[in-house]
Amino acid sequence: MFALREALGSDAVPATDWVNERGGETVPANNREILLGSTNRASSVTQTAALTAARPNHSRDFSVTFYDGEVVIAAGSEDILPAAAQYFIE
């Protein structure tokens, strides 16, 4: 988070927006979020599916997109996710 603050010159404060879907809570729509990896947000699900469907050998692929009002950092595997986050920060 500190690298992101430094890169953007922002006073952003990390916060959780975890949603208990089993407890009846609903996933918020139209939030301005930075989605990292597999999440339950529609933008994340869509972009991760597109990335993994693009080619069979996708485990080292990642994408950083602005989709439906959100920054989505999708990765073909958990192993490549740190590189995707670093790419976004730089």
Contact indicator for 75, 61 with CB cutoff of 8 Å: yes
The pLDDT tens digits of the residues spanning 1-48 come to 566 666 666 666 666 777 877 888 887 776 778 899 988 888 899 999
Res. 86: pLDDT tops 80: yes
Between CA 36 and CA 85 the distance in angstroms is: 8
Q: What is the pLDDT of residue 4?
A: 61
**Beta partners for 36?**
73
Q: What is the pLDDT of residue 15?
A: 67
The pLDDT tens digits of the residues spanning 53-83 come to 999 999 999 999 998 888 999 999 999 999 9
Q: What is the pLDDT of residue 77?
A: 93
Which strands, in side-by-side order, build the sheet including 70-75?
34-36, 70-75, 62-67
DSSP state of 50: H
Quick one: tokens of 53?
């469907």
